[in-house]
Structure 1
Amino acid sequence: MDEGYRKDGEWALNIKSVIIFGQMKKIETAQETVEIVRQIGLKYFPTAESVEEEIRKAGAYVQILELSIDHITGKLVNES
């Protein structure tokens, strides 16, 4: 869901939303989990070293679920 918007002169909020249907799968191997965490970490952490430090400290506590999308729907809702 987005933050929504109001059309000029209207009080009602318009919100876009998406619903996803699919199957969830648990990532089973530690090697695959660490690689996924590393890819995500490199996007958000300032350095590769800081990513590796976080993986060293907390990597054993991470569980990742993979979503295989079967169907996506979207709509615009008028909250009036």
Structure 2
Amino acid sequence: MTKPFTIVIGILALGALIVNIYMNPKVSHLFGKEINDWLYRAFWLLIVGVCVYNYIYIEQNTLKNRPKSKLKSKN
């Protein structure tokens, strides 16, 4: 995934999680099925975690692959 796509998906997942906590329903719907609201929250929390992990992984790889001359000129 690209960095902007990861950020957008993470923000949308975090928004879904916050809205679900704010509304506090007894039953939530995910993929057309009724599920427990805690499972719904766990699913979106997992998505947020994967997005944060991917963002950090992408950031570390872009720093590793930069030429050293560009890194020295920025400092």
The structure with the greater share of residues assigned to helix is 2
The structure with the greater share of residues assigned to strand is 1
Find the structure with the greater CA-based Rg: 1
Higher relative contact order, structure no. (Cα contacts within 8 Å, ≥ 6 residues apart): 1
Fold match by TM threshold 0.5: no
TM-score by length of 1: 0.26
TM-score by length of 2: 0.26
